[in-house]
């Protein structure tokens, strides 16, 4: 028998024959349910494997216990070295590589086992079924050179979009491409809900649900990876995204961020694995976005050391609660009453069902029924009738009641305590727009790919019909949306980074930014999907081409995790507060700065050359674009501040003054968000080193900036920021940029790397 080559692990020939397949299967980040089943079945059928070898190989398919990372590094080194040594003319195949490794570690007699057609055929079946011949890890082993697409490198752009969470995104792409996650039209809500629950369990089994939790509870302590997972689900099925978000983000997040270690130890592991399905019971029928006005009560009973959770009237029932029909526990937000004193809204864990799924006494749950979309989510209404729960169920990070019935809080001010509590849950406002943008990207990919293949009308009889995307009107419909999708992607990446690295000092600013980005981005999703549907004509109206579900499922994004209009008011209030605070903190210097801003505005408005400058070099200059966006934001801020001050001087109550300025404030919030987005787009372009890619992204950035200015041209003209000739020049440049971006449009949507099974529309497959 030949000696074991030092390059190889000390595995038997049978194990080595399958090692390349196992490496690529795991190195591509995840083994899906279908792959696990297939591999186990095939392994058990292989006659040349011993019982011990089969046991080892089956164990390696356990998604909850994958091979260690350091073993991967060793494997790839071994496989690369052996791949180079393959005889010339040998097909690049993981099977051939595995057989060669087995051969080198076998006796002459044993070698015969690996040369049988039956053995080869069985191994090839596994390789083909796993679909890994074109995977990145396959190319890594065989030293394939990166292919560069015409114009720019798609892989480089994909890496930029995937950011630091590329591994998680690729794992999700692999999983969502599995037949177990095949998208189907299921119109019966109970069947649809069960399918979504099954999918959610598959995600939990592979560790995705617990990603944001500490490692001792099965997680990776990575909110960024959780958000990336949620974003990827936006390409697939929005019902699954929302179910996932309710279970692991809202319910689990409330326990994580509002509870303390005793709650973490008791619940987090089971929440992350979906052994404990739960829901997030905040919203009430009668109060909607007014969380502070919730009527549900949690009254402490010192005699029994319990809280009594109660719904005082029908309108105080918890409304639109996701996971209400599958959930066994709820994080209930209620007015905390101790010894007759109301300490404001707190969260408390209330069991809903027993281990068999039976509803417990004192709870009433009703199905919300069919909705415009998201019918795979089991939304329900919940009422409580004098339900008693242990004192320990109070999520007590920001407010606690001791055994003597004394209330205490690390934050004395009730208002500050309330907003601090809600601020810990802002992750939803970071996650939702990312999933919504994924849906918009899906719609754009379908519409653009369709427009690149669909022809309509010929210049003359006998000539080929014109491709849809060659029509300037079609370019005008889709290219600005594509540029804004990229702009939002980079801005949301910026928001995510700020959120996951937040400190107490900047949390308020992040909350304002999250509220604004959530609103602006989800409004964009709604608009983009409608335009994309229309751009596909009657084909876009067919359910099979996805727009029906994409539009219906994301429509609610504009009003959950905060109604967009309400959130934009919060943004403008935050801007006004910061503006006011700068005067309070800096006094005379703030006045000088304001006067300087006004002087700057006046100089700009009176500078005839600037107002009339129509040179393209000027219009695509990032300094001009940023100045124009900043001017709009700052002038709106100063003017609405002056209006508010004038109303208050006239003794008009603050609430009434705010209402009179409400529309003005919404425009201000919109201008603020657009300015942030442009800054992040320009920063991203500046950081790109690849010259070809930089050129493409600069063109997209210019299109976003100038098409946004074109959208607000009425305001710029009214404010005398620009002359009508300059406005016309911007329109001409936007048209030119749309034509130029059209040349890269197919590659730009390919860079999203949306799995084909998620794209799914027959018109582009």
Residues serving a catalytic function are 561
Spatial contact of 427 and 246, defined as CB atoms under 8 Å apart: no
Structure tokens that stand for 748 in this block: 């730009």
Among 529, 520, 468, 477, smallest CA distance to 495 is for 520
Measured CA distances, 451 to 135, 445, 471, 477 (Å): 29, 10, 10, 11
Do the beta carbons of residue 236 and residue 176 sit within 8 Å? yes
Within 363-453, residue ranges assigned H as helices are 414-423, 427-451
Query: 431: helix, coil or strand?
Result: helix
SS3 of 21-35: the string is HHHHHHHCCCCCHHH
Choose among 270, 264, 267: nearest CA to 209. Answer: 270
Do residues 5 and 104 touch, judged by C-beta distance below 8 A?
Answer: yes
Query: Rounded to 5 degrees, what are φ and ψ at 146?
Result: -65, 135
For the four alpha carbons of 407, 408, 413 and 416, in that order, the dihedral sign comes to negative
Query: Alpha-carbon distance 666 to 669, whole Å?
Result: 5
Query: Could you give the C-alpha distances from 331 to 346, 395, 723, in angstroms and in order?
Result: 10, 9, 56
Give the residue among 167, 274, 160 at the shortest CA–CA distance from 222: 167
**Residue that has been written with the tokens 């709820």 in this structure:** 330
Q: 240: closest CA among 370, 432, 376, 372? A: 376
Cβ–Cβ < 8 Å for 276, 267: yes
End-to-end CA distance of the chain: 52
Residue listed under structure tokens 């790397």 = 753
123 CB-side CA count, 13 A: 29
Question: At a CB cut-off of 8 Å and minimum separation 6, what does 159 contact?
Answer: 166
Contacts of 431 (CB under 8 A, 6+ apart): 226, 227, 230, 231, 245, 249
Let me know: does 161 contact 752? Beta carbons within 8 Å: yes
> In a 10 Å sphere around its CB, with 0-12 CB exposed, 13-18 middle and 19+ buried, how is residue 599 labelled?
exposed
Q: Where are the beta strands (DSSP E) in 583-636?
A: none
β partners of residue 58:
none
Tokens of 276: 């404990």
- Alpha-carbon distance of 231 to 548, in angstroms, equals 20
Tell me the backbone φ, ψ of residue 213, rounded to 5 degrees: -90, 160
């Amino acid at each position: 028998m030949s000696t074991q080559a030092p390059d190889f692990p000390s595995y038997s020939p049978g194990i080595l024959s399958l090692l390349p397949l196992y490496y690529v299967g795991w190195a591509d980040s995840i083994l899906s349910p279908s792959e696990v089943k297939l591999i186990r079945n095939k392994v058990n059928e292989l006659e040349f494997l011993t019982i011990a070898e089969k046991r080892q190989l089956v164990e390696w398919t356990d998604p909850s216990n994958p091979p260690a990372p350091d073993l991967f590094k060793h494997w790839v080194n071994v496989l690369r070295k052996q791949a180079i040594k393959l005889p010339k003319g040998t097909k690049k195949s993981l099977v051939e590589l595995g057989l060669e490794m087995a051969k080198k570690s076998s006796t002459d007699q044993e070698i015969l086992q690996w040369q049988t057609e039956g053995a080869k055929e069985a191994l090839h079946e596994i390789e083909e079924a796993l679909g890994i011949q074109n995977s990145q890890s396959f190319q890594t082993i065989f030293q394939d050179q990166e292919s560069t697409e015409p114009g720019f490198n798609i892989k480089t752009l994909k890496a930029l979009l995937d950011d630091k969470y590329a591994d998680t995104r690729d794992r999700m792409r692999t999983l969502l491409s599995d037949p177990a996650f095949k998208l189907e039209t299921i119109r019966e809500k109970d069947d649809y809900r069960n399918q979504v629950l099954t999918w959610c369990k598959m995600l939990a089994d592979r560790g995705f649900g617990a990603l944001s939790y500490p490692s001792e509870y099965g997680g990776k302590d990575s909110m960024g990876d959780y958000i990336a997972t949620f974003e990827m689900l936006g390409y697939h099925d929005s019902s699954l995204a929302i179910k996932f978000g309710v279970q692991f983000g809202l319910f689990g997040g409330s326990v994580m961020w509002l509870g303390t270690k005793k709650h973490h130890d008791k619940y987090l592991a089971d929440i992350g694995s979906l052994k404990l399905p739960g829901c997030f019971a905040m919203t009430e029928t009668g109060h909607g976005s007014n969380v502070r006005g919730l009527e549900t009560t949690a009254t402490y009973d010192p005699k029994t050391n319990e809280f009594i959770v109660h719904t005082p009237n029908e309108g105080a029932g918890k409304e639109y609660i996701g996971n209400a029909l599958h959930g066994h526990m709820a994080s209930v937000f209620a007015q905390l009453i101790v010894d007759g004193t109301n300490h404001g809204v707190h969260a408390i864990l209330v069991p809903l069902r027993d281990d068999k799924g039976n509803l417990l006494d004192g709870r009433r749950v009703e199905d919300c029924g069919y909705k415009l979309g998201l019918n795979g989510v089991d939304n329900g209404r919940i009422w409580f009738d004098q339900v008693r729960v242990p004192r320990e169920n109070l999520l007590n990070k920001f407010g606690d009641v001791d055994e003597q019935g004394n209330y205490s809080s690390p934050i004395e001010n009730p208002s500050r305590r309330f907003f601090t509590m809600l601020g810990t849950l802002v992750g939803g406002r970071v996650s939702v727009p990312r999933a919504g943008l994924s849906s918009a990207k899906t719609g754009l990919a379908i519409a653009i790919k369709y427009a690149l293949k669909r022809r309509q009308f010929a210049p003359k009889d006998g000539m080929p019909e014109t491709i849809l995307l060659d029509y300037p009107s079609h370019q005008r419909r889709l290219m600005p949306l594509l540029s804004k999708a990229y702009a939002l992607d980079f801005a949301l990446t910026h928001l995510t980074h700020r959120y996951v690295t937040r400190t107490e000092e900047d949390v308020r600013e992040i909350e304002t930014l999250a509220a604004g980005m959530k609103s602006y981005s989800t409004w964009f999703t709604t608009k983009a999907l409608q335009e994309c549907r229309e751009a596909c004509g009657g084909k876009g109206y067919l359910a099979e081409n996805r727009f029906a579900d994409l539009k219906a499922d994301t429509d609610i994004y504009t009003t959950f995790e905060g109604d967009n209009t309400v959130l934009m008011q919060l943004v403008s209030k935050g801007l006004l507060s910061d503006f006011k605070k700068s005067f309070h903190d800096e006094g005379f210097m703030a006045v000088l700065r304001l006067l300087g801003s006004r002087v700057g505005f006046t100089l700009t408005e009176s500078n005839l050359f600037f107002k009339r400058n129509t040179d393209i070099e000027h219009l695509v200059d990032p300094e001009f674009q940023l100045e124009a966006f900043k001017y709009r934001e700052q002038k709106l801020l100063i003017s609405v501040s002056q209006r508010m001050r004038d109303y208050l001087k006239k003794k008009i109550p603050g609430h009434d003054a705010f209402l009179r300025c409400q529309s003005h404030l919404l425009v201000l919030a919109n201008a603020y968000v657009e300015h942030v987005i442009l800054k992040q787009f320009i920063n991203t372009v500046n950081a790109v080193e690849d010259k070809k890619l930089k050129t493409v992204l600069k063109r997209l950035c210019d299109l976003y900036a100038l098409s946004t200015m074109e959208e607000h041209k009425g305001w710029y003209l009214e404010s005398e920021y620009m002359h009508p000739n300059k406005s016309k020049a911007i329109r001409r440049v936007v048209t030119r940029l749309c034509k130029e971006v059209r040349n890269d449009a197919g590659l730009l949507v390919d860079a999203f790397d949306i799995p084909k099974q998620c794209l799914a529309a027959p018109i582009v497959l």
